[in-house]
Amino acid sequence: MEILVCVKKVPDTADAEVVLKPGGTGIKEDDLASGINEWDNYAVEEAIRIKETHGGTVTVATIGSAESEDVLRRCLAMGADNAIMIDDAAFKGADPYGIARGLRGLAGKGFYDLILAGAQAGDDGFAMVGPVLAGYLGWPHATLVTSIFLEGRMIKVTRELEGGLEEMLKIELPAVLTIQTGINEPRYVSIMGIRKVRAKEIPVLDPAAIGLAPGETGVNANLVRRTGLAVPPAGKEAEMIKGTPAEIARKILDIVKERGGVV
């Protein structure tokens, strides 16, 4: 089983105070920590588990620059066999279609049975690259995957639906799957582990090397254009509950009951 996992380095915005750049073109990343996109981390772990059970190799790829190398090293330390970097110089401002074209070019250079990607990215949250890549390749795909079972050239997957439902699918390989968080418990990656793969070579490919014409990348090739970024206006003022701790607790319980939080 040859598996390609597409990963991305994103700024950690979950608990941070996000500040817009002037003009609303992006966010200030100076004070933000960054690392592998959370969904991608689950995808890498899942690929490695499949390899550990069924054999084969795991290749991780990112469209990025020297700054993203640590994310690839981290994946190698987790147990990926190879890492490939596609130089992102030509991909600045690319939309999900542009990114998917880049990955299509890369996928065309290998003999992959399965391509995994995170269900979405923590920064732009498009959740498109996986499905679009499948479209470009003409492969079947499934999104929000919560489990994968191999059955010869078929895979059985479950997908997370709304309302607590789970959908079971049978898909023929090769296929593209986008992975939902919680599919597994990703292993811890130690600094010692990363150090041990520090000498491993990571090839850097330019668009030409993966068969992309100059017009296929970058802002001008975009089908989707970002026109602005804004902090949504604050909602109604929060209600401050006053009283002794016991009274506060009772009032909170009442509110939760009122809204149907407690059955």
Binding site for another protein (CB under 8 A): 12, 15-17, 31, 33, 35, 78, 185, 187-196
Query: Please, what is the minimum distance in Å from the beta carbon of residue 16 to another protein?
Result: 5
The Cα–Cα gap between 20 and 175 comes to 38
Nearer to another protein, 41 or 120 (CB): 41
CB 221 within 8 Å of CB 215: yes
Query: Please, what is the minimum distance in Å from the beta carbon of residue 18 to another protein?
Result: 11
Structure tokens at 144: 């929000």
By three-state DSSP, how is residue 9 classified? strand
Query: Please, what is the minimum distance in Å from the beta carbon of residue 11 to another protein?
Result: 10
Nearer to another protein, 53 or 190 (CB): 190
Query: Please, what is the minimum distance in Å from the beta carbon of residue 15 to another protein?
Result: 6
Nearer to another protein, 191 or 240 (CB): 191
Query: Please, what is the minimum distance in Å from the beta carbon of residue 78 to another protein?
Result: 7
- CB neighbour list of residue 178: distance below 8 Å, 6 or more residues apart: 39, 43, 116, 117, 118, 119, 120, 127, 130, 131, 141, 142, 143, 144, 145
Nearer to another protein, 28 or 226 (CB): 28
By three-state DSSP, how is residue 141 classified? strand
Nearer to another protein, 83 or 189 (CB): 189
Q: Alpha helix (H) ranges present in the chain?
A: 38-54, 69-78, 96-109, 129-137, 191-196, 245-258
The Cα–Cα gap between 49 and 55 comes to 9
Query: Please, what is the minimum distance in Å from the beta carbon of residue 199 to another protein?
Result: 11
Query: Please, what is the minimum distance in Å from the beta carbon of residue 244 to another protein?
Result: 13
Nearer to another protein, 189 or 210 (CB): 189
The closest alpha carbon to 59, from 185, 200, 218, 154, belongs to 200
Nearer to another protein, 170 or 196 (CB): 196
**How far is residue 171 from each of residues 46, 54, 148, measured CA to CA in Å?**
17, 18, 10
Query: Please, what is the minimum distance in Å from the beta carbon of residue 41 to another protein?
Result: 10
For the chain, give me the number of helices (H) and strands (E)? 6, 11
Nearer to another protein, 14 or 223 (CB): 14
The Cα–Cα gap between 114 and 218 comes to 27
CB 80 within 8 Å of CB 59: yes
